[in-house]
Structure 1
Amino acid sequence: MAKYVAEVLWTLKDGEDFLKGRYSRGHSITFDGGVELAASASPHVVGKWAVEAAVDPEEMMVAALSNCHMLTFLHRARLAGFLAVRYQDAAEGIMEEVRPGRQALTKVWLRPVITWQGDEPTAEQLAQLHHEAHDECFIANSVKTQVMVEARAAA
């Protein structure tokens, strides 16, 4: 069993009014390797109390799905004998009401563009590689959000 840890730290700043909801949602997340990330609630959720330059949980979920798919895809492509030299994804997720007063990230689109060196997979092989990557991705297997992969050709 693998264990993953992240430390989340938020502190009330002088002059903020916690009980009235007038406080910054900015905080930090430190991962076990030492990387520290500026984080916040989404501006779509808390307006001016968010830190727009920071990463919000919804963005992290979209990024985690994209990141996991990429890493799994690269592994599957390597095993299939294809040489990927660049992978870029413009992932996007949407938040929708799932029942009155409750919202969820309901759909995530992964839009990978892969550049190959040497033989490139056929459209059918590429679709199979993405299918295998999605099926094996730990993060995709951990969520109920619908994840769509819209692979695009490199220019």
Structure 2
Amino acid sequence: MEGFPLRLKWQGSTAGEYSRDAVAGTEGKPDLLVSSGTNYGGSDARWNPEDLLGASVAQCHLLTFLALAKKVRLDVRSYDDQVTVFVDAVEKVKRVSKVRLAPLIRVAPGTDVEKVREMFVKAHKYCFIAQSLNAEVVMEPTIEVATAE
């Protein structure tokens, strides 16, 4: 089993209004300033749990897709994802209900667009972050073939 240790540090007092700001970090990496979103009393200038969850799903899917594309010899040139995390109340408890991945994927001239789409969908099966969620992951890629230069 692999482990990925990190620390989360918060300081303040909950005797009154309190800060939601904290610092996440791990050995050898820059610290990450975290909070809650402003609708939960936090700061939009810092990463919140919803942002981080969306980034985790999107990054895992990207890396899995790129590995599959390489394996089947697809020449992917760029990938620009617009990720949205949806939070809903389900039985009076808030939860992430859906994560939407909507990348613009640019590929080399002559690339089989349907094969790109197939590998994008297949990546979901092997993305262990997405497979760890109860939330629905909606995938809406746009695939563009680059013009020959």
Work out the number of aligned pairs and report it: 145
Deviates more, 1:27-36 or 1:67-76: 27-36
Contact 1:109 1:147 (8 Å CA) reproduced: yes
C-alpha RMSD of the superposition: 1.5
SS at match of 1:18: coil
Equivalent-residue separation in structure 2 for 1:86 and 1:52 (angstroms): 28
Tell me which residue corresponds to 1:141: 131
Tell me which residue corresponds to 2:24: 29
Report 1:1-155 matches (<5 A): 1-12=1-12, 18-20=14-16, 22-46=17-41, 50-100=42-92, 102-123=93-114, 125-154=115-144
* Structure 2 unaligned spans of 5+: none
* Structure 1 unaligned spans of 5+: none
- How far 1:118 sits from its partner (Å)? 4.0
Runs of 4 or more, structure 1, over 2 Å off, are none
Contact 2:107 2:143 (8 Å CA) reproduced: no
Name the aligned partner's letter for residue 39 of structure 2.
H
Equivalent-residue separation in structure 1 for 2:143 and 2:107 (angstroms): 10
Name the aligned partner's letter for residue 81 of structure 1.
R
Contact 1:109 1:149 (8 Å CA) reproduced: yes
SS at match of 1:143: coil
